[in-house]
Amino acid sequence: MRIAVLGAGAWGSALAISLSARHQISLWSKDPDHAIKMERERINQSFLPGYPLPESLKITSILNEALDAAELALIVVPIAGLRETLRAIAARKIKIPILWGCKGFESETTYLPHQVVEAEYSAILPHCGVLSGPSFAEEVAQGLPTALTLASKDVDFFSKIAAELHSSRLRIYTSQDVVGVETGGAVKNVITIAAGISDGIGFGHNARAALITRGLMEITRLGLGLGGSMKTFMGLAGVGDLILTSTGDLSRNRKVGLMLAEGKSLNDILNELGHVAEGVHTAQSVLKLGDRLNIEMPITQAVCSILHEGVSARTAVEVLLNREQKTEIY
Active site (catalytic) residues: 188
Task: Tell me how far the alpha carbon of residue 12 is from its chain's centroid.
Answer: 11
Greatest Cα pair distance, the chain, in angstroms, is 60
- Name residues whose C-beta falls within 8 Å of residue 271's C-beta, 6 or more positions apart in sequence: none
User: Helices in 73-226 by DSSP H: which ranges?
Assistant: 82-90, 113-120, 137-142, 155-165, 178-201, 204-226
CB 177 within 8 A of CB 287: no
Residue 239 DSSP one-character state = I
Separation CA 35–CA 273 (nearest Å) = 21
Separation CA 187–CA 104 (nearest Å) = 7
Pairing of strands 72-75, 98-100: parallel
CB 243 within 8 A of CB 183: no
Single-letter residue type at 151: A
CA triple 233-235-241, angle to 5 deg? 85
- Name residues whose C-beta falls within 8 Å of residue 93's C-beta, 6 or more positions apart in sequence: none
Cis peptide before 126 (omega within 30 of 0): yes
* N residues, the chain: 330
CB 132 within 8 A of CB 241: yes
CB 308 within 8 A of CB 282: no
